[in-house]
Structure 1
Amino acid sequence: MPDQPPPQHCPSSRELDDLELLTHGALAPLAGFEGPDGFVTLHVPTAIATAGREAGSLELVDPEGVPLAVVTIESTYPAGDLIGIRGAVTALAHNEFGAFRRLFLSPRQVREKYAAGTLTVPVAGALTRQDLDRIRGAAGGSPVILLALTGTGTPDLSAPSLVRATLVAAGHLPDAAVVTVPLASRGDAAADHELGQRVVAAYAPGAVLGVTGEGDYPDDVAAVVEHDRPPVDEQGLVLFFTGLSGSGKSTLARALHDVILEHGERTVTSLDGDVVRRNLSAGLTFSKEDRETNIRRIGWVAAEISRHGGVAICSPIAPFDSTRQQVRHLVGEAGGAFVLVHVATPLEECERRDRKGLYAKARAGVIPEFTGISSPYEEPHDASVRVDTTGRSVEAALADVLDHLHETGYLPEDA
């Protein structure tokens, strides 16, 4: 029987950052993904893990499907709904594209290029005048490496803006260069500190200096920061309505869409669950897997709209918390704001309305895995707004949503 080819898997943004550190030797002596107690982990769907165990390895690809590395599977372990993979990594290729890719050097390249007297400064936020004064004093005329830590969840600014701000700040120093390192956050301050120390030590040819980020920015650095942090009413925004079929979420979403259009200050796109299914997700079933795929597609499109300062209004059922969290994460990575609206109309009222006759068909067994009847709806505990439309006009229910958007500054009071 011929060897099974390894299955392909595209890791998360954090895992892709970790993969680059591993293949660049920035985590040496660690040469692969760790077990459940480690910092550098890889989690994959069960089907991928099963195929990987049969093949003995797993091929990791970038979002465009370009093979980056092979993981030799040494062991697996449960990781919530996913399976953790432990094993050594063998590089196949390095990323060739991405903003400031020329600045992504390996520790070996840095040590070959810079002498031991070079001062290394880890940078996770824009440098202030006070930071720059401290760097000048500590360097004493020696060269400086500004190590821009751009990994997922680490910088205060978007990754490209952090590098832009750091390049501008380097111009205020007599002899400074910028090196970019994709050090991702673990979401745990102690873990981030420990892993950060390991990575910075791998890159630093000499002494390391920490800075505080306190004080005011030079004018040219401040301009980069201001561009990356637009006012709230200009920030990309995703309004995500979730609720049972017949709860009124699509009605509220359409009404809000009209309000924003009439105000005329923002570009707005409606991503209704049924409309997206007919256009973007034609062919998907109503299985749990396909429903999650549909929501992820909606979330990806919405996040891209928010990346460019637009407003996206989404109104799928989105019954599963894990998928809603994935969408929230996508939007956050894109620099957008995420407002979750739970249209909490009770099942009894939704079934009483049953305008499309779906509940009757679900009760009769014609529609399998129907949310609220034969498939669960996981109520959100992190909704920004909760609306029950029972016995209320569209205008009254919409007012709950508009009140929140006015209070948070996402929409002006006259919208």
Structure 2
Amino acid sequence: MIQHCPTPTELDDLELLASGAYAPLRRFNEPGSVVTLRLPEGVDEAELVDPEGLPLARVSADGSLEPLTHAQYGPFRRLHLTPAEVRAQHAGATFVPVADALTDGDLAQLRELGRVVLLALTGTGTATLSPVALVRASLAAAELLGDATVVAVPLPSHGDAEADHALGTQVVATYAGGDPVRALADHDGDLPAPIAAIVDEDRPAADEQGLVLFFTGLSGSGKSTLARALMDLLLERGGRTVTSLDGDVVRRHLSAGLTFSRADRETNIRRIGWVAAEIARHGGVAVCSPIAPFAETRQQVREMVEAAGGAFFLVHVATPLEECERRDRKGLYAKARAGEIPDFTGISSPYEEPEDAAVRVDTTGRSVEDALHDVLVALDESGHLHLTGGHA
């Protein structure tokens, strides 16, 4: 049986299925359910592992699970209780789902309820804050309330608002048992100082946030040239830690041994994305310039960066194929046309043009400075970097 590491959303779903929080749902891929698991092509059964390789469960062809153990690591793991544990420890309390920092007005409402359990909804894509910051903010609120407990519930978003609402209502009711559930009506008022400090740390200003500048385009489009010019400008201006993750350089050092098959090319992009996300996690700027032809993999990189608290700024260097082929300094297009290079993007392998680019640049007939200006203006307007009009 192969081992497979699910996506962050699937790992959240796995934890809730195994704990009984999704009851009566007990397995993945029920007809009509948003709780799904996608295994590698041709695989029906697998041992599901966490990112460190710890076996968590076995999944059968019908999506049913055999739990092996629970996740054991991660911030505030001690607060990840099962619904049965919560009901046993907190019977008679009022249960309140929380997906954002609580305001003075929220706390005033909660003080009228007596003993409360704050269910911090930390799952992928659900909370406004990062999962760690949401729990920290909820713990600060519990301390201010005095008679409150925090439980972390990894309820993820599946991109279907109606289905997610129904699922969330069901999960909260499962934790509460027969005890009352109170949804906060609004978030009037200011944030108390201890909570505001946590929010400020978790939501830095755009120009202080970790940033991944991701240039994508055909071979010969000018993406590496623009990326290098931007990196040089950032280094000249100073004030930020900048790292280049150029496609060719990464292949020599991080992805040595990978071929140019689609699977290996996607692995290369995911490696770039993981490193870039870690740079952004620590407030740095990563400048990446792979071809990255497939939308799904670019989206995976975006999700890694955003999960790390960084901003993902996608630049589509949209120089037409004809111009890229005309330049062809390395002779790659000629070899691809002659059949000497298989799976060559733009010739024998597709390039999926981004629909979510922050800026689109055609370098045909333009100087590097002129084309780069388009990128600088977009960065300035987004607030992530101010490198035009005399800004420092």
> Normalised by the size of structure 1, how large is the TM-score?
0.91
Equivalent residue letter for 1:210: A
| 1:209 pairs with 2:147 | no
Identify which of 138, 163, 172 aligns with 1:166.
138
The answer to whether the 8 A contact 1:273-1:314 is kept is: yes
Residue 308 of structure 1 and its aligned partner are, at CA, apart by 1.2
Output aligned runs, 1:9-408, within 5 Å: 9-47=4-42, 49=43, 52=44, 57-74=45-62, 87-115=63-91, 117-139=92-114, 143-205=115-177, 206-211=179-184, 212-408=186-382
Q: C-alpha separation between the residues in 2 aligned to 1:174 and 1:285?
A: 59
Secondary structure in 1 aligned to 2:214?
strand
Q: C-alpha separation between the residues in 2 aligned to 1:403 and 1:314?
A: 19
Which range moves more in the overlay, 377-386 or 152-161? 377-386
For residues 177-226 of structure 1, the C-alpha deviation after alignment (integer angstroms, 9 at most, x for no partner) is 11111000112221121001111011114111111233211111111111
The answer to whether the 8 A contact 1:342-1:380 is kept is: yes
Q: C-alpha separation between the residues in 2 aligned to 1:17 and 1:268?
A: 33
Aligned length: 387
Q: C-alpha separation between the residues in 1 aligned to 2:40 and 2:30?
A: 16
Secondary structure in 1 aligned to 2:360?
strand
Which range moves more in the overlay, 37-46 or 226-235? 37-46
Equivalent residue letter for 1:110: V
The answer to whether the 8 A contact 1:39-1:195 is kept is: no
Q: C-alpha separation between the residues in 2 aligned to 1:36 and 1:233?
A: 45
Secondary structure in 2 aligned to 1:44?
coil
Secondary structure in 2 aligned to 1:33?
coil
Residue 310 of structure 1 and its aligned partner are, at CA, apart by 0.9
Q: C-alpha separation between the residues in 1 aligned to 2:60 and 2:323?
A: 53
Q: C-alpha separation between the residues in 2 aligned to 1:209 and 1:326?
A: 35
Q: C-alpha separation between the residues in 2 aligned to 1:71 and 1:411?
A: 46
Q: C-alpha separation between the residues in 1 aligned to 2:344 and 2:123?
A: 39
Moved segments of 4+, more than 4 Å: none
Identify which of 3, 6, 31 aligns with 1:8.
3
Q: C-alpha separation between the residues in 2 aligned to 1:59 and 1:207?
A: 38
Equivalent residue letter for 1:101: R
The answer to whether the 8 A contact 1:125-1:213 is kept is: no
Q: C-alpha separation between the residues in 1 aligned to 2:83 and 2:107?
A: 24
Equivalent residue letter for 2:87: R
Q: Which runs of 5+ in 2 are unaligned?
A: none
Residue 114 of structure 1 and its aligned partner are, at CA, apart by 1.4
Residue 41 of structure 1 and its aligned partner are, at CA, apart by 0.8
For residues 314-372 of structure 1, the C-alpha deviation after alignment (integer angstroms, 9 at most, x for no partner) is 10011111111111111111111111111111111111111111111112211111111
